[in-house]
Amino acid sequence: MQRLIEGVHKFRNDEFGNYRKLFRKLSQEGQNPHTLFITCSDSRVLAELITQSKPGDLFVVKNIGNIVPPASAVGDTNSTAAAIEFAVDILRVADIVICGHSQCGAISALLGQTPVSDTAPHLRDWLKLASPVRETLKREYKHIHDDNARCTAAAEENVLYSLDNLHSYPCVQERLADGSLQLHGWFFKIATAELFAYDPETRQFAPLMPEK
Ligand SMILES: [Zn+2]
């Protein structure tokens, strides 16, 4: 806790001066983020850091395994579904990024590589939402035996599964139909901080390049 408190003071004393105007503007005018960024709660994946975004740029949802549940599968109190609707319908973001990552503990648990104990029933039920990813792995990745490689493949498949599930939300369907919303699947490699983007044409994740 001491580290957090020291960090708060360090920010106020050393950094806040650089942001003073921006925070005041955001406070007066409200937020207008351009992107809904859905990623894992993992402490090593920092959306703002890896995209060099400023306050007000990203509307971030972090959950276990960056899973987007199908609209039909969620209860009425699902926070990820609520955040998607808020970002798409009310904030009118132009883009949604789903960003998976390497060495994901949630994916490892989904594949049964890390056990989930009986004292974590919510975690177990949440991961069940991504069980189709586990089935895809069984069916299409039989040739990969290495745990780490299977985990990477599943993390990538989970991004695609979650992208598919975004289409099940009426607000997303509407904005896709009128061309005002774009969806992106990304993968972050922790060791090298590289980002890869899914290319629907080649059906591969390729290094993310600046748009020409
Ligand atoms: Zn993760």
The domain limits of the chain are 1-30, 32-200
Residues lower than pLDDT 70 in the chain: 74, 76, 212
Q: How far is the CA of 60 from the centre of ligand 1 (A)?
A: 15
Distance from C-alpha of 136 to C-alpha of 157, rounded to nearest angstrom:
8
pLDDT of residue 82: 94
Task: State whether CATH 3.10.20.30 applies to domain 32-200.
Answer: no
pLDDT of residue 144: 93
Q: How far is the CA of 161 from the centre of ligand 1 (A)?
A: 15
Sign of the torsion angle spanned by Cα atoms 141, 114, 164, 41: negative
The answer to whether 40 and 104 have CB atoms below 8 angstroms apart is: yes
If you compute the radius of gyration of the chain from its CA atoms, what whole number of angstroms results? 18
pLDDT of residue 76: 64
Q: How far is the CA of 37 from the centre of ligand 1 (A)?
A: 14
Q: How far is the CA of 44 from the centre of ligand 1 (A)?
A: 9
The answer to whether 187 and 194 have CB atoms below 8 angstroms apart is: no
Percent share of the chain, pLDDT over 90: 93
Q: How far is the CA of 62 from the centre of ligand 1 (A)?
A: 9
Antiparallel, parallel or unpaired: β 58-63 and 194-199: unpaired
Q: How far is the CA of 22 from the centre of ligand 1 (A)?
A: 31
Q: Average pLDDT over the chain, rounded to whole?
A: 95
pLDDT of residue 212: 66
Q: How far is the CA of 102 from the centre of ligand 1 (A)?
A: 8
Q: How far is the CA of 107 from the centre of ligand 1 (A)?
A: 7
pLDDT of residue 78: 87
Confidence (pTM): 0.95
